[in-house]
Amino acid sequence: MNAPTGPARILVVEDDPFYRRVLEKRLANEGHEVFAAADGREGMRIIVTAAPDLVLSDWMMPEVDGLELCQSVKTGLKDAAPYFILLTAKGELDDKLLGLQTGADDYIVKPCDHGELVARVRAGIRIIRLTQQLRSTVAQLQAVNARRRAPDGMEPVEEEPRRDGTEG
């Protein structure tokens, strides 16, 4: 089964105005609705108000950095948290592990290749869409199950099919 396609709502959190604009343009050219923030504090406000599907955040920023933003979003919003990609010049293995252990869903070292950025964003969106489908299916199954319950709260007894193939 294919995941639903279409544009995603993406927040770019980057303190370098030039790099932020480059990322915005690249993602907008892919057809996404793009929001931008200059630091983690502004990013958090946008996450709360705009509910993006995916956040692409620099790690090293003044005030609230990307790691703090990620941790705050992932612990505060839990299942409603957006897919989070850390985009940073910190390329050491220990840095990558720390970022992922803090809650980042992916990690890209910059400067990043345009093709890699697009591929990782697409992979993130695919995961988001599949998760949305799964939640919807679970909700539908729970609704069907709730309707099947007897009025007294007991589980319904499945009727045995008759020998002639009809239900009794």
pLDDT band with cut points at 50, 70 and 90 for residue 1: very low
Report the DSSP beta bridge partners of residue 11.
Answer: 35, 55
CATH of domain 9-147: 3.40.50.2300
Q: Write down the pLDDT at residue 4.
A: 45
Per-residue pLDDT of 114-126, as tens digits, reads 899 999 999 999 9
Q: Domain limits of the chain? A: 9-147
User: Is the whole-model pTM more than 0.85?
Assistant: no
Whether the pLDDT of residue 38 is over 50: the answer is yes
Q: Write down the pLDDT at residue 29.
A: 94
Whether the pLDDT of residue 108 is over 60: the answer is yes
Residue type, 146: A
For residue 106, the tally of other CB atoms under 10 A from its CB is 18
DSSP 150: -
Name the more confident of 132 and 70: 70
Whether the pLDDT of residue 143 is over 90: the answer is no
From residue 154, give the alpha-carbon distance in Å to each of 1, 29, 114, 146, 167: 35, 55, 57, 11, 21
